[in-house]
Chain A
Amino acid sequence: MLAAPDGLVLEAESRIGRALVARRWRLANGLGVIVVVDRAAPIVSYQTWYRVGSRHEQPGKTGLAHLFEHLMFAQTETLAPGEFDRVVERTGGESNAATWVDWTQYRLSLPAAELALAVRLESERMSRLLLTAATVEPERDVVTNERRERVEDDVDGWLDEQLMSIAFDVHPYRWPTIGWMADIRSVTLDDIRAFYRSWYAPNNATLVVAGDVDELALLAMVRDAYGALPAVELPPGPTTVEPPQTAERVKRARRPIASDRVLCGWKVVGQGHPDWAALELLTTLLAGSPSSRLHRRLVIELELASSVDVQLTPFRDPSLLRVAVTCARGHRAEESLAEIDRVIGELADGGADDAEVQKAKNLTETDFWSALVDVDGKAEALGHHETALGDFRTLGELAERLAAVTAADLRRVVREYLVPRTRTVIVAEPDGSEPADGDGGDGDGDGDGDDDADGDGDDDADGDGDDGGHRGDQG
């Protein structure tokens, strides 16, 4: 057990990986600091996780958390415009960020010898960011282009946005992390400044540092740089509870695509719920490998689809188990949906045998370890669990929870959650194709050909909520 440096309290520790230990420390102003000493390479991942995401926004001001994330790279009291990136890149390091429904995360990957730089940069912008029209307006244009690229011109982004906006009636998960285009364009400088003052404070953040560091020296640096930052009174977080869905919801629309696309989602529990582990194994069993049930049935045996993917969105509040299908040439969405129902029915009636459950556990174990191979992965996993679920130790507990799942558990969650009344189905059909449902409409019932069921112009880019960062990396 390490002795706590002055001004810091050791709150918790947990093993991560084969031989590493993660510890959570806390400053008097509320800042959490999770440290993993990993000397595999002379680098460090320095991540700052704020407990604010798109769920903390208000209708009419969607996309604010994400737009703000972009502005965090602009200018501070001591850093001129562009200087943040220049000083990071001068070291060979990288900076990026991501916004999601439950959190916003900033990450610096730096040579280990540059740890002091990370502490200086992140503590600076936590409290001394300069927000002016000159920095906001170009970035607003960048975000509108990001939205065009990820949603308007991307069928998968469009499907995700539609699914969330139709599946959720009142919960903030119904609007997209990137925000509705109209809101991105109308949010004001005052809104942005108020958002910063409200949410960016040490008592709403956790630093997660993984890499080749001296833990006590790091903690001393953190204390010196952040210790004087005042805690703020945080606004109350959203408490909206989504009412139970009582009937299946279906929307169809035409898009410039080659074949039908389907995205459907069943309402399931949040990531902290005891049933999460069984649901996670279920996704693997359904489409997590070449021999998985849906892949084998839809893609290989019946050739109804060219791809099928199943994901459990790791949200804090109840979210969705999603199935995405790209239909094969000449096949329609209805054929895949009928087969999905059949496979789910088989699981509900007969369940999976122990061997199939063990297969899913082995596949999940491989994924678990793969995600923790580098320091960025370790920091990201810890930061997500700490921020979305309230305790980084849930990451280590997940392995135990997965190991404890039985065939009976899987059958029970299929019967409990994968029922028609909790499902929302979005179907995109190729422009000019024969309508599968006989009406050929845009699906929102108003016949105007748009895709906006509620008329507010809302959207969620890729369904994983993570907007992908501020840098626009590609190519």
Chain B
Amino acid sequence: MSAEVHVAPSADAPLVWIEVAIRGGAAADPFGLEGLHRHAALLARRGAGGRDRAAFDDALDRMGAAIDVGVGRDSTTMSAVTLTRNLDDVVALCADVLAAPGFAEVEHERLRRETPQVLDEIRDDDGSLVTRWFDRECAPGHAYGRTSLGTEASLPRLELALARETWRREVVPDNLVIGVAGDVDEARARSIAARLTERLATGPAPTPPEVGGSDPTAGRRVVLVDKAERTQAQLRLGHLGPRFGDPDTAALVLLETGFGGMFSSRLMQEIRVRRGWSYGAGCVLRRSRGRHWLEIWMATGIDVAGDAVKTTLELYADVAARGLDAEETALARSYVVGSMPFHNATARQRMQLAVRDAVYGLPAGYTAGLPAHVAELGPTDVARAAARWLRPDAVVTVAVATAATARVALEGAGAGPVSVVAHDGY
């Protein structure tokens, strides 16, 4: 076996995008070592191929190119963009990151000092903060609840040798998905993929982490993340849902769209248009390799936060019991089918869709082909999937708000018992 390669040529602009997904990601961080994959990836980018961090950055920036690394739930990703005229030199730098990262002690120590500050920035931003807490609380113990950034407790435990070993073990050709898009032809793209992997050690791809999870248990609850001086409550409601790629996915995409995926959807109409409670409101079925969240989002004034949660839970119970009506289903179906050209309009989008499908373990073309399945579904299919997967009795609500003003309202929302936590407690 070797790396899986996806190519999407386009001569529209003198740019080439490269994406290398390394299967694993934050879900593969060991318990107690949250943040390990991020730490390893950032270190790999900070000096490689015999260049220290400054020399590496100078070489890359001189060409007007960029190489970024990021950690998702299911993969670590290295992404690059370059002007076509500098492609060969940028590929060489990308290959250095993969095959010959420096993992310098000085950068390891610097990163250990930096990461807690990123945590501070998340705490300063209510939207990021509510997501961090919701991920933790939605399905305790689930691998996707593990923070990719790490925690105050886990960060000091991230050792350099562990990061280096993680990179060495996971960056093997069999564990990579490579995408190349833009101003290249198929043959050149494949030669780029070959150059990216030719110096890598061969070995078996690591066993991917378990990302199943059991069905949610009955009982609603609220986690109120107490932060001072809030005028709003940032809200997330949800529970563990199915895997993207489950046989019910097409029906649930239809439900997601009709309930909270369009401006005309039920949530947006009831929460924003009719009541003016929030600038936006919607729901999302998180796309991942394993079972992930069904999640509702909005941000309301604190004075209406309780009413908004109560109304949302009623709407959710209704859609769980009855699905969408015929008109909603028709609109959502038409939207999903018609919107696909916007998701794969550019070469880069087509490449990224293909890479994502591969990382999720889906058949080639799965996402692009989903609208064809959606087109065949009706209200009965949606209702059946809703009955199977939606659990209004098990909704977890997370609110970032000032507890002194929000607690009473949330206690009366019918969302279950309220526990208050400090905003910087995680």
Contacts and interface: CB of A to CB of B under 8 A. Distances in A.
A155 interface: yes
A291 interface: yes
Given A154-B125, A290-B57, A373-B13, A149 B334 contact: no
B301 A95 contact: no
A103 to B, nearest CB: 21
B116 A256 contact: no
B83 interface: yes
A291 B54 contact: yes
A370 interface: yes
A444 interface: no
Interface in A78-107: 82, 85-86, 89-95
Contact of A258 (B124, B230, B295, B339): B124
Contact of A86 (B82, B232, B331): B331
A198 interface: no
A366 B82 CA distance: 7
B263 A89 contact: yes
A431 B402 CA distance: 15
Given A291-B54, A328-B117, A366-B15, A473 B331 contact: no
B113 interface: yes
A299 to B, nearest CB: 8
Given A90-B331, A256-B227, A138 B274 contact: yes
Contacts of A141: 275-277
A139 to B, nearest CB: 7
Contact of A366 (B12, B65, B116, B231): B65
A152 interface: yes
A283 to B, nearest CB: 14
A91 B57 contact: no
A162 B340 CA distance: 42
Most buried by B among A92, A374, A471: A92
Given A148-B231, A296-B54, A474-B280, A154 B263 contact: no
Contacts of B61: 289-292, 359, 362-363
Given A40-B12, A149-B299, A362 B64 contact: yes
A76 to B, nearest CB: 16
Contacts of B315: none
A142 B279 contact: yes
Given A138-B274, A472-B281, A89 B230 contact: no
B345 A374 contact: yes
Interface string B124-155: 11110000000000000000000000000000
Nearest to A258: B120
Contacts of A306: 114, 117-118, 120-121
B197 to A, nearest CB: 25
Contact of B276 (A17, A140, A153, A307): A140
Interface of B is mostly: mixed
A471 B262 CA distance: 9
A145 B12 contact: no
Interface in A103-155: 109, 111, 137-142, 144-146, 148-149, 152-155
B269 interface: yes
B264 to A, nearest CB: 5
A257 B124 contact: yes
Nearest to A358: B62
Contacts of B264: 82, 85-86, 89
Interface string A354-389: 010011011111100110111100000000000000
A85 B83 contact: no
Interface string B275-289: 111111111100000
A54 interface: no
Interface in A416-475: 431, 471-475
B188 interface: no
Contacts of A361: 64
B117 A475 contact: no
A18 B64 contact: no
Contact of B279 (A146, A363, A365): A146
Contact of B14 (A89, A137, A369): A369
A138 B279 contact: no
B123 interface: yes
A241 interface: no
Contacts of B344: 41
A42 interface: yes
Interface of A is mostly: mixed
Interface string A261-279: 0000000000000000000
Interface in A6-21: 17-19
B250 to A, nearest CB: 16
A375 B125 contact: no
B331 A91 contact: no
A281 to B, nearest CB: 12
Contacts of B277: 141, 145
A339 interface: no
Nearest to A363: B64
B338 A91 contact: yes
A225 B377 CA distance: 37
B123 A258 contact: yes
A42 B339 CA distance: 11
Contact of B275 (A111, A138, A155, A366): A138
Contacts of A472: 268, 272, 278-281
B345 A145 contact: no
A342 interface: no
Contacts of A149: 232, 279, 299
Contacts of A374: 345-346
B201 to A, nearest CB: 28
A306 B121 CA distance: 9
A326 B122 CA distance: 12
B360 interface: no
B176 interface: no
Nearest to B117: A306
A91 B10 CA distance: 26
A81 to B, nearest CB: 8
Nearest to A257: B124
Nearest to B10: A40
B99 interface: no
B276 A94 contact: no
A418 B359 CA distance: 48
B383 to A, nearest CB: 21
A341 B228 CA distance: 34
A328 B66 CA distance: 25
A474 B64 contact: no
A41 B345 contact: yes
B81 A307 contact: no
Contacts of B388: none
Given A256-B228, A475-B297, A92 B341 contact: yes
B168 interface: no
B280 A369 contact: no
Given A359-B62, A475-B295, A82 B269 contact: yes
B169 interface: no
B280 A153 contact: no
B300 interface: yes
Interface string A380-414: 00000000000000000000000000000000000
B272 to A, nearest CB: 6
Interface of B: 10-15, 53-54, 57-58, 60-66, 81-83, 86, 110, 113-114, 116-118, 120-121, 123-127, 227-232, 262-264, 268-269, 272-284, 295, 297, 299-301, 331, 334-342, 344-346, 348, 424
6 contacts: A138-B275, A306-B117, A328-B113, A358-B62, A362-B61, A362-B63
Interface of A: 17-19, 40-43, 82, 85-86, 89-95, 109, 111, 137-142, 144-146, 148-149, 152-155, 255-259, 289-292, 296, 300, 303, 306-307, 326, 328-329, 355, 358-359, 361-366, 369-370, 372-375, 431, 471-475
